[in-house]
Amino acid sequence: MSAPFVTAGETVSAIDVLHIELSADGLKGRAETMGVDYLGETVASMQAELGQIDEPALATLSGADLQAILPPGGSRNGLDCALWDLRAKQSSGGIAALTGIPLQPIETLYTLSLDDPENMARCARDVAHLKQLKLKLNAQNTLQCLEAVRGARPDARIVIDANGSWPESLLMALGDDLQRLKVALLEQPLAPDQDCRLQNLRYPVPLCADESCQASGDLERVADCYQAINIKLDKCGGLTDALRIRDWCHQYGKQVMVGNMLGSSLAMAPGTVVAQGADFVDLDGPLWQSDDVEHALKIVDGCIQPPVSELWG
């Protein structure tokens, strides 16, 4: 990482990822996956899981088959996105033709690590060219950090990510302040096992499920608790299920956020498909890395151009 990435639950200085490559008829499909670290997934565990699929099964594997073979998570994400890339390479229209979703530039949030109010305000001023900010905030100095950033950046669209660290009392106490300070979205305020506290709650700002909604199978359970869903490919197990979640959100009037677990441009590229028309896009992983893959996504002032086919899709 180019700098420590600090959340309510951890400090990340480097990440380990798994790169997957599928070859057929002289073409290659690629993907990158990190897995869900807070569920115990590692590169070694993903390699072991993928190693259980034998070569004959891989040769005839379809995206639909994969949903039954592997559970949601990093292993399925990597293999699913590599399959999509391979199919895109085999198609004259690429990923847009396969999905029916034209790819346009999208604007990503930029994450500010958890810190004291003064440092978070300074970091916000340092990225004055970025107009959408996501603040990592825990239960300490929460309002002070938010007020400091808002004071430094009255122009910015602000999202808060609590990573499940807030007690219910803090959530209830801060509602009016979040509305006053024009917070656009509050992501995962309570721990996932506290979702029942949010059921049918009329909160001043929209609430977004992250850790509480891993894959499409969780949607009905959280439907009455959240107004938005954060879709992450590593969580749900790839582009196939991500598009299923996207469609469900559109059908039931939920806001769509497309997030990431950190990673290179190769990890973000499939997310640009899901992010088309999304209410919130959080694909800033490459901006946090000290280097990137070849044919990296072009990101200028927070605007992400569609991936070139040499990268993915």
- What CA–CA distance (Å, rounded) separates 159 from 281? 11
Paired strand residues for 12: 5
Among residues 89, 134, 182, 232, the one annotated as catalytic is: 232
With the C-alpha atoms ordered 86, 242, 277, 299, is the resulting torsion angle positive or negative? negative
Name the nearest CA neighbour of 223 among 207, 238, 237, 239: 207
What are all long-range contacts of 214-219, with beta carbons under 8 Å and residues at least 24 apart? Answer: 214/36, 214/72, 215/72, 215/241, 215/245, 216/241, 216/244, 216/245, 216/248, 217/72, 219/245, 219/248
Identify whether 254 is a catalytic site residue.
no
Neighbours of 63 (CB within 10 A): 17
Identify whether 136 is a catalytic site residue.
yes
Among residues 136, 182, 254, 298, the one annotated as catalytic is: 136
Catalytic residues: 136, 232
